[in-house]
């Protein structure tokens, strides 16, 4: 049996589970959902302020983004935020390692 490539599938499955944990926690515990929403609001405001600078336009753009990203599409944005957080922790290097083990010829 040729078992090459299973490492990559295990890595993707682990990433999917890690990305789904905050979404499940936010649907089960309202305290976690409020905490995640507060973190996302501060993240959105600090990102917009970094690009636009302080001013009224920053508050308007932040309010629009907060409405859509925190209140309307919260589960999607939370999953993407976890993905971005894992990429910041060099999770992508594990995926590249898994691809290297799959593509290596023996």
**Residue 53 domain flag:** yes
**Residue 33 domain flag:** yes
**Residue 105 domain flag:** no
Task: Give the tokens for residue 68.
Answer: 């859509």
**Residue 88 domain flag:** yes
Domain that holds residue 78: 6-100
How far is Cα 78 from Cα 33, in angstroms, rounded to an integer? 10
**Residue 106 domain flag:** no
Total domains, the chain: 1
- Per-residue pLDDT of the chain in tens (106 residues, 90 and over written 9): 456 657 677 777 877 888 888 889 988 999 999 999 999 999 999 999 999 988 899 999 999 999 999 999 998 898 888 888 877 777 667 666 766 666 665 5
Residues 6+ apart with CB under 8 A from 32: 22, 25, 26
> Quick one: 69 exposed, middle or buried, by C-beta within 10 A (0-12, 13-18, 19+)?
buried
**Residue 87 domain flag:** yes
**Residue 1 domain flag:** no
């Amino acid at each position: 049996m040729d078992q090459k490539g299973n490492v990559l599938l295990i890595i993707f499955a682990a990433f999917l589970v890690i990305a789904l944990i905050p979404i499940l926690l936010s649907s089960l515990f309202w305290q976690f959902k409020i905490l995640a929403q507060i973190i996302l609001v501060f993240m959105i405001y600090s990102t917009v302020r970094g690009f636009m600078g302080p001013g009224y336009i920053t508050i308007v753009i932040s309010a629009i983004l907060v409405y859509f990203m925190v209140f309307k599409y919260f589960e999607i944005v939370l999953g993407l935020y976890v993905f971005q957080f894992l990429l910041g922790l060099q999770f992508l290097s594990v995926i590249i390692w898994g691809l290297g083990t799959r593509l290596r010829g023996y």
